[in-house]
């Protein structure tokens, strides 16, 4: 049920507090999910909270964070409900040890519970997505709190910041510890900061600290800053029309999602910025998702330039203290625009009005570890629950998104430039340059211009094979070939991280005659450098950006007057560089060989996105695509910039074969260190599912990875998939309880990608 929903008017008035569920005066039971990672405690537990109630009891509610005793341990727990009675007698209930100063908005608690169901994980793991950064370490210190918390006052904070205050070293240390958040006196002792009663009293008398009874700890720093609202660009007619549609939706209480399908360079960012601005003017907050922060520095900068201090950026690359500061600014309402990667969905925003998903087609929106959620699906649910608008944008939306969401189109580039012509040329040798490409690069060299070259394969050579027996050198842990990385002189596995120094001998037959096959970015870099000499070549892939991140390479290319940016799909993300005259895709259709229903879609996106970087702010621009089959569906449409044509043909194909959006996919992967056990387990799961009325396809063997033999079952469910999902959850839980799968591991992946 949606407790946060309400009219817009209510929302605007309700900004003073983080909307706690006010405890009914009689409520003395808190139902709590302890955040323990074990699947065994996959249910809530009741605690007696009589000591918290009374006085300012409203602070305790759904989303409050408690430190609770659990067995012999302590755990952080999330309150999901307050009740008058428990099924257990009160004498058997324990009391929490502390109420933490920070809390989650109650809407997030509900979202996490939904996510845990949908993605077959535990509530604890889902809640972990939403916790304030770095909470666990601090909470452990607070774990002993029983009666009172010590809190820094504003004067204390200033004293700490000023150099000339009369503070002893110990006092300063103590205040510094409190700057991080309120602490119980017992916790101070635990942290080695034991202060005598007298010294604490002195600090209290000077007004630098104060005591607060547990249960009334309030958040600090509330205050709203909307920030600078710069208006630079004059919207184009198409942008204006899109904004009219968006603004109309923003004033609806329960707006349906919108897909902003704008060709590359059509100025989708400007539309997002203005939509966000309208939302802020209504007193509501905004979440902006980008696939990867490091690959979207321009988008982040544009939001920061437009909204200043109202923006908070959340991502894992930030130091914990910084992330925590950003989280608190959002929680307090000081920041009302949250920009981040998929995890920013769980930002503690109140009165959410708009959720933007930029480059919605990007695979980075799917989390590949537990909880295996798809941020686009979660964003839709979040928006629905909050009565907010979901605005997903891309030049190459997923086929599902066309089918699912209403579309707003931008068909021209905002800067008046045109989309570059795309020419597809046949090229057998993957990784080598075709003559047309060599000629075009020569032109770039003589004109001292810029080019972007995409080869979606890193390393020097994708395999090394024995000339005598023909075997490729493989990873000992995975059934894949090792990739030769020349600069570091290592053969590397791209799946498990294994690396070895080559001995120069074939491990199978002992021959010393090895041959390298194919080419990756490292090899192409050399070929390009020779072709465009003296222009610089900037290589961007996971190897070159491991240490510094991609932003430096991108910035260097942008600053350069001329040169070539070469790399994996990273070079085709939403970058906005002026004056790129040539785009080149090498081995464009390599991905079509993969058994993946998204293969055509991925190739279409890759080529269209790369073409989208070319010819901005100039009248020149061309794209050359090398492929072994120039007639491949994806390439034919990409060459014509025909996203609509591609999507309608792709939809036909998906309907015929039974793929999303016509079904929802649920994959079940079984793994085992012993060959065969994974298949046996898969058969067992399949027959149990069949008995529960769920047909599963497979098992299909997958290649062995990181020492695990793997097999996969696929369930195709007519949307909505809830019914089948429920059956799958039950079967899986029952098999786990009965330990029926032996040593085999099982992972359920809903909305796989």
Ligand X SMILES: Nc1ncnc2c1ncn2[C@@H]1O[C@H](COP(=O)(O)OP(=O)(O)OP(=O)(O)O)[C@@H](O)[C@H]1O
| Calculated CA dihedral for residues 600, 601, 604, 606, nearest 10 degrees | -110
- Cα angle, residue 726 at apex, residues 724 and 732 outer, rounded to 5°: 100
Instruction: Decide: 666 and 724 in contact? Cβ < 8 Å.
Output: yes
Q: Looking at 233-241, 371-379, 487-495, 596-604, which segment touches ligand X (CB under 6 A)?
A: 233-241
At 544, list the tokens: 């070159």
Binds ligand X by CB under 6 A, chosen from 265, 353, 459, 567: 265
Is 349 assigned a ligand-binding role in the annotation? no
Helix or strand holding residue 268 (H, E): helix 268-281
Q: Tell whether residue 495 is a contact of Zn ion (CB under 5 A).
A: yes
Q: Tell whether residue 216 is a contact of Zn ion (CB under 5 A).
A: no
The single residue listed with the structure tokens 């919108």 is: 258
Q: Tell whether residue 630 is a contact of ligand X (CB under 6 A).
A: no
| φ, ψ dihedrals at 77, nearest 5° | -130, 150
How far apart are CB 646 and ligand X at their closest, in Å? 16
Instruction: Tell the burial category of 373 from Cβ atoms under 10 Å away from its Cβ (0-12, 13-18, 19+).
Output: buried
Instruction: Decide: 290 and 338 in contact? Cβ < 8 Å.
Output: no
Q: Tell whether residue 477 is a contact of Zn ion (CB under 5 A).
A: yes
Binds ligand X by CB under 6 A, chosen from 83, 200, 233, 753: 233
Q: Within positions 127 to 186, which residues make up the interface with ligand X, using CB under 6 A?
A: none
Instruction: Decide: 730 and 692 in contact? Cβ < 8 Å.
Output: yes
What residue number has its CB nearest to ligand X?
Answer: 267
Q: How far apart are CA 546 and CA 539, in angstroms?
A: 12
Q: SS3 of 517, please?
A: strand
Instruction: Decide: 200 and 168 in contact? Cβ < 8 Å.
Output: no
For Zn ion, what does the binding mask look like between residues 270 and 289, x meaning CB under 5 A?
Answer: --------------------
Binds ligand X by CB under 6 A, chosen from 96, 353, 612, 699: 612
Q: Looking at 39-47, 235-243, 279-287, 698-706, which segment touches ligand X (CB under 6 A)?
A: 235-243
Picked from ligand X, Zn ion, none, the partner binding residue 574 (CB below 5 to 8 A depending on kind) is: ligand X
How far apart are CB 572 and ligand X at their closest, in Å? 9
How far apart are CB 596 and ligand X at their closest, in Å? 23
- Cα angle, residue 567 at apex, residues 565 and 572 outer, rounded to 5°: 80
Q: Which is nearer to ligand X, 518 or 574 (CB)?
A: 574
Q: Looking at 99-107, 200-208, 267-275, 468-476, which segment touches Zn ion (CB under 5 A)?
A: 468-476
For ligand X, what does the binding mask look like between residues 378 and 417, x meaning CB under 6 A?
Answer: -----------------x------------------xx--
Binds Zn ion by CB under 5 A, chosen from 493, 514, 625, 668: 493
Q: Map 118-164 to HEC letters.
A: HCCCCHHHHHHCCCCCCHHHHHHHHCCCCCEEEEECHHHHHHHHCCC
Is 493 assigned a ligand-binding role in the annotation? yes
The terminus-to-terminus CA distance of the chain in angstroms comes to 29
Q: Tell whether residue 475 is a contact of Zn ion (CB under 5 A).
A: yes
Q: Tell whether residue 494 is a contact of Zn ion (CB under 5 A).
A: no
How far apart are CB 558 and ligand X at their closest, in Å? 12
Is 279 assigned a ligand-binding role in the annotation? no
DSSP for residue 7: -
Picked from Zn ion, ligand X, none, the partner binding residue 576 (CB below 5 to 8 A depending on kind) is: ligand X
Q: Tell whether residue 103 is a contact of ligand X (CB under 6 A).
A: no
Among 566, 624, 526, 573, CA closest to 396 = 573
- Cα angle, residue 221 at apex, residues 217 and 223 outer, rounded to 5°: 125
Q: Which is nearer to Zn ion, 500 or 576 (CB)?
A: 500
Q: Which is nearer to ligand X, 415 or 443 (CB)?
A: 415
My answer on whether omega of the bond before 400 falls inside 30° of 0, hence cis, is no
Q: Which is nearer to ligand X, 16 or 232 (CB)?
A: 232
How far apart are CB 54 and ligand X at their closest, in Å? 54
Q: How far apart are CA 114 and CA 112, in angstroms?
A: 5
Binds ligand X by CB under 6 A, chosen from 61, 181, 267, 387: 267
Q: Tell whether residue 235 is a contact of ligand X (CB under 6 A).
A: yes
Q: Which is nearer to ligand X, 276 or 715 (CB)?
A: 276
Q: Which is nearer to ligand X, 106 or 568 (CB)?
A: 568
At 438, list the tokens: 């060599």
My answer on whether omega of the bond before 699 falls inside 30° of 0, hence cis, is yes
Q: How far apart are CA 669 and CA 665, in angstroms?
A: 13
Q: SS3 of 724, please?
A: helix
The single residue listed with the structure tokens 């621009």 is: 621
At 356, list the tokens: 């933007």
Q: Following DSSP, what letter does each residue of 324-337 receive, concatenated?
A: HHHHHHHHHTS--E
Q: Tell whether residue 583 is a contact of ligand X (CB under 6 A).
A: no
Picked from ligand X, Zn ion, none, the partner binding residue 523 (CB below 5 to 8 A depending on kind) is: none
Q: How far apart are CA 451 and CA 565, in angstroms?
A: 6
Q: Tell whether residue 603 is a contact of ligand X (CB under 6 A).
A: no
Is 478 assigned a ligand-binding role in the annotation? yes
Is 753 assigned a ligand-binding role in the annotation? no
Q: Tell whether residue 496 is a contact of Zn ion (CB under 5 A).
A: yes
Q: Tell whether residue 239 is a contact of ligand X (CB under 6 A).
A: yes
Instruction: Decide: 342 and 365 in contact? Cβ < 8 Å.
Output: yes
Q: Tell whether residue 262 is a contact of ligand X (CB under 6 A).
A: yes
Q: Which is nearer to ligand X, 365 or 373 (CB)?
A: 365
Helices (H), 482-641: 521-532, 550-559, 599-612, 633-639
**Binding residue ranges:** 466, 469, 475, 478, 493, 496, 506, 509
Residue numbers of the site for ligand X (CB under 6 A)? 233-236, 239, 262, 264-270, 395, 414-415, 574, 576, 612
- Pick out the residues of the known binding site for Zn(2+): 466, 469, 475, 478, 493, 496, 506, 509
> In the complex, which residues of this chain contact Zn ion (CB under 5 A)?
475, 477-478, 493, 495-496, 498
């Amino acid at each position: 049920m949606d407790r946060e929903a309400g009219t817009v008017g209510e929302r605007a008035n309700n900004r003073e507090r983080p909307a706690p569920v006010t405890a009914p005066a009689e409520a003395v039971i808190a139902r709590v999910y302890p955040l323990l990672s074990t699947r065994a405690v996959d249910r809530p537990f009741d605690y007696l909270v009589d000591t918290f109630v009374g006085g300012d009891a409203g602070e305790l509610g759904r989303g409050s964070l408690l430190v609770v005793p659990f067995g012999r341990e302590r755990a952080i727990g999330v309150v999901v409900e307050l009740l008058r009675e428990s099924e257990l007698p009160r004498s058997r209930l324990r009391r929490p040890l502390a109420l933490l100063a920070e809390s989650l908005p109650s809407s997030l608690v509900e979202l996490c519970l939904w996510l845990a169901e949908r993605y077959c994980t535990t509530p604890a793991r889902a809640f972990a997505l939403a916790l304030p950064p770095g909470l666990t370490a601090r909470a452990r210190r607070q774990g002993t709190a029983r009666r009172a918390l010590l809190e820094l006052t504003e004067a204390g904070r200033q004293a700490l910041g000023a150099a000339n205050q009369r503070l002893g070293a110990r006092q300063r240390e103590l205040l510094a510890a409190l700057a991080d958040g309120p602490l119980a006196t017992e916790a101070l002792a635990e942290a080695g900061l034991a202060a005598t009663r007298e010294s604490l009293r002195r600090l209290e008398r000077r007004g630098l600290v104060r005591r607060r009874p547990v249960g009334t700890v309030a958040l600090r720093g509330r205050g709203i800053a909307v920030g600078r609202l710069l208006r630079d660009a004059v919207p184009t007619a198409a942008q204006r029309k899109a904004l009219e549609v968006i603004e109309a939706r923003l004033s609806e209480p329960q707006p349906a999602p919108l897909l902003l399908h704008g060709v590359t360079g059509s100025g989708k960012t400007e539309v997002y910025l203005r939509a966000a601005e309208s939302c802020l003017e209504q007193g509501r907050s905004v979440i902006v998702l980008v696939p990867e922060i490091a690959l979207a520095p321009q988008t982040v900068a544009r939001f920061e330039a437009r909204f200043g201090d109202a923006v908070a950026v959340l991502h894992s690359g930030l130091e914990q203290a910084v992330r925590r500061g950003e989280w608190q600014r959002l929680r307090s309402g000081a920041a009302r625009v949250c920009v981040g990667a998929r995890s920013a969905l769980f930002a503690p925003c109140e009165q959410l009005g708009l959720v933007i998903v930029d480059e919605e087609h990007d695979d980075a929106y799917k989390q590949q570890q537990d909880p295996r959620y798809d941020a686009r699906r979660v964003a839709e649910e979040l928006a629905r629950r909050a009565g907010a608008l979901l605005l997903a944008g891309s030049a190459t939306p997923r086929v599902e998104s066309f089918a699912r969401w209403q579309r707003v189109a931008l068909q021209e580039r905002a800067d008046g430039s045109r989309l570059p012509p795309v020419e597809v040329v046949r090229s057998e040798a993957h990784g080598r340059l075709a003559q047309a490409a060599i000629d075009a690069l020569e032109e770039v060299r003589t004109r001292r211009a810029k080019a972007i070259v995409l080869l979606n394969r890193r390393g020097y050579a994708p395999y090394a094979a024995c000339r005598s027996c023909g075997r490729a050198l493989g990873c000992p842990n995975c059934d894949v070939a090792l990739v030769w990385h020349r600069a570091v002189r290592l053969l590397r596995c791209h799946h498990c991280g294994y690396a070895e120094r080559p001995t120069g001998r074939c491990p199978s037959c002992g021959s010393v005659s090895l041959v390298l096959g194919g080419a990756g970015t490292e090899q192409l870099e050399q070929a390009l450098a020779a072709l465009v000499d003296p222009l610089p070549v900037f290589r961007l892939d996971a190897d070159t950006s491991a240490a510094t991140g991609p932003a430096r390479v991108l910035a260097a290319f942008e600053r350069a007057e001329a040169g070539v940016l070469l790399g994996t799909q990273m070079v085709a993300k939403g970058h906005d560089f002026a004056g790129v005259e040539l785009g080149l895709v090498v081995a464009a259709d390599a991905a079509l060989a993969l058994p993946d229903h998204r293969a055509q879609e991925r190739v279409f996106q890759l080529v269209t996105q790369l073409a989208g970087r070319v010819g901005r702010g100039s009248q020149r621009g061309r794209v050359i695509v090398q492929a072994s089959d120039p007639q491949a569906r994806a390439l034919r449409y990409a060459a014509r910039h025909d996203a609509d044509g591609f999507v309608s043909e792709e939809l036909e194909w998906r309907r015929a074969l039974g793929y999303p959006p016509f079904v929802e996919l649920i994959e079940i992967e079984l793994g085992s260190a012993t060959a065969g056990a994974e298949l046996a387990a898969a058969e067992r799961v399949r027959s149990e599912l069949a008995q529960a009325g769920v047909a599963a396809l497979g098992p299909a063997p997958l290649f062995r990875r990181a020492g695990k033999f793997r097999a996969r079952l696929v369930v195709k469910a007519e949307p909505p998939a809830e019914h089948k999902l429920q059956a799958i959850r039950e079967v899986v839980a029952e098999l786990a309880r009965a330990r029926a799968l032996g040593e085999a591991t099982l992972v359920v992946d809903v909305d796989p990608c």
